[in-house]
Structure 1
Amino acid sequence: MPKRTTLTFTSEDGPRVDSSKLYVYHCKYSGRHAFTTDCDLKKLPRRRTDGAFVLDTNEVTVKLYCTDAGVKYIKRPNGNIERQYRYNLGQLPVAYKSDLNSPLLYVMDGAVTTFSNQNARRAGKLLVPPCISRSEKTGLVELRLELDERSHHCTLSRVTADVVRVHVTGLMNGEAVHEELFDLFSRVLNVRLSQLDMRRAKSSRNRIMTVESLTPEQVYERLREALKKQAANRSEKRQRRHN
């Protein structure tokens, strides 16, 4: 098991960082602390190749809380082979360098978010992730879903900052998938089918589900409870097999 590596990239001539201007980024999938920096990723340039954010460590300060994952070779559409020195959180890549001696650090597109419930838990409350929000147009709660097909059961997978991930048994574009999703969320959220509606989002893997008569906080709490029950059931099944 590789140990976590803490790497600090900073300009030697740069000014002392004001802690009030620090940005803390977390892995979108695990929620773990990925890095802290004094720049807003949304204001940084991106690579044309893969959309990664480009941090010039001669200009900004960034502290990574990641594991050095070694070299990964990527074949680009033009046939070129690119070498990447990866930085991972667990098995998930977060950032990379093309040259260890270069000041340029690339943060992968879609890898991190500023959303975290860690501080909210300490304060005795829970923040609702951005993937669960109230529509300004309709006033209804909207859930952004991401589907993984060909599972054995239709179940919740996880709630990240960007999406509620769901395993479905059918094909993405089949009517059976819609029925599965309505049945699942009706049970999980404890609402009638008539309180749910759904539309396709940016791709075949994505859906927007709307919920009547619940607040975003209620929706998130019920999703969390369902995920806890699923985890407890899996743990109980493992114990039975071992016994």
Structure 2
Amino acid sequence: MPPGRKRASAHVFTSEDAEHERADEAKYTTYYCKFCGQHVMTSTCDDLSALPRRRTDGALMLDLAKHPTRILAALDAEVVAVRGRDGTYEKRQRARCGTTPVGYRDASRGANARADEKGVFYIHKGALSAFDYEKDHGASAGEGIGDDAPPPPCIIAGAGGATQIDLEISQRAATHAVTKISASCVFVDVIGPAHACDGELVEFLARVLGLRLAQMSLLRGHKQTSRTLLAKGTSPRAAHAALRSALEGERVRASKIAKGMT
């Protein structure tokens, strides 16, 4: 955060009856930042994709009167004026997860207005996900992950029958390995540098997925360490199972190494 910049932490809870909220806890859906996995929001809205979108910027419009919501994202203390396509300005108070913007609220009444007033919370497209691999399937606790675990949003059916897998690579590692599966990407260690690892990355993933090299193609992402794999001959669920198996194998290997060093 830049020096001198102030930020107000907003814990938004629109239910007026805490006891009633606890009784209806099962009706709430937890949402995480798609980029870092932190808990950002809990809401009675169980499907963000069904929310209406704002014409100006495509943001999802969450009606807080209709969907009681607790928002844990930090609200910027300052209000900013944003110019729309029609040339008019609107005042916004941005909500962030760390330094990542995840949404905003209408700040026409100033930054001191209660964030839990019955209004609209605007969520940036693609900022939140209800999927958290570690928490939902107990991987962080070392528990087994069921075969019925659904593929995360980073493993989807792509064009032409291919399965699309979003990757984040960690370069100059000791060995090739799948190290984590999150909502936003599959984390993979590679031995070489990021700018020259595509060949070894495809070969490693071909072994993991049980596919031929000709069935796979790799696209570079918006940054040096991001890639998108297009794999033909496998479904999102089968690819997820194969990657999950590789992840479990890596954890077992790392555990054995750690025990051998003690």
TM-score range, shorter chain: 0.5 to 0.7
Structure 2 distance, partners of 1:105, 1:35, is 11
The residue number in structure 2 matching 1:36 is 42
Aligned pair in 2 of structure 1 residues 47, 133: CA closer, same or farther (>3 Å)? Answer: closer
Aligned pair in 2 of structure 1 residues 200, 91: CA closer, same or farther (>3 Å)? Answer: closer
2:121 matches 1:105: yes
Structure 2 distance, partners of 1:75, 1:158, is 40
The residue number in structure 2 matching 1:174 is none
What is the TM-score when the length of structure 1 is the normalising length?
Answer: 0.63
The residue number in structure 2 matching 1:6 is 11
Alignment size in residue pairs:
210
1:218 counterpart (231, 238, 242): 242
Structure 2 distance, partners of 1:188, 1:198, is 11
Q: How does 1:176-191 map to 2 (within 5 A)?
A: 180-187=197-204, 190=207
2:94 matches 1:74: no
Aligned pair in 2 of structure 1 residues 48, 215: CA closer, same or farther (>3 Å)? Answer: closer
The residue number in structure 2 matching 1:234 is none
Q: Percent identity?
A: 22
Structure 2 distance, partners of 1:104, 1:92, is 20
Return the offset for 1:221. Answer: 5.2
Q: Secondary structure at the match of 2:243?
A: helix
2:130 counterpart (97, 100, 114): 114
Cα displacement string for residues 141-187 of structure 1 (whole angstroms, at most 9, x for unaligned residues): x2333799xxx98x9998542445899639xxxxxxxxx53432323
Aligned pair in 2 of structure 1 residues 55, 77: CA closer, same or farther (>3 Å)? Answer: same
What is the TM-score when the length of structure 2 is the normalising length?
Answer: 0.59
The residue number in structure 2 matching 1:54 is 61
Which stretch of structure 1 is more off in the superposition, 21-30 or 180-189? 180-189
2:100 matches 1:92: yes
2:26 counterpart (12, 20, 23): 20
Q: Secondary structure at the match of 2:195?
A: coil
Q: Secondary structure at the match of 1:48?
A: coil
Letter matched to residue 8 of structure 1: F
Aligned pair in 2 of structure 1 residues 158, 123: CA closer, same or farther (>3 Å)? Answer: closer
The residue number in structure 2 matching 1:177 is none
2:169 matches 1:169: no
Letter matched to residue 144 of structure 1: I
RMSD, matched Cα: 4.5
Where do 5+ consecutive residues of structure 2 fail to align?
Answer: 2-6, 108-112, 251-262
| Cα contact 2:104–2:122 (8 A) shared by 1 | yes
2:144 matches 1:125: yes
Return the offset for 1:5. Answer: 3.5
Return the offset for 1:134. Answer: 7.4
Return the offset for 1:44. Answer: 1.9
Q: Secondary structure at the match of 2:87?
A: coil
| Cα contact 1:11–1:61 (8 A) shared by 2 | no
| Cα contact 2:30–2:41 (8 A) shared by 1 | yes
Letter matched to residue 165 of structure 2: R
Q: Secondary structure at the match of 1:84?
A: strand
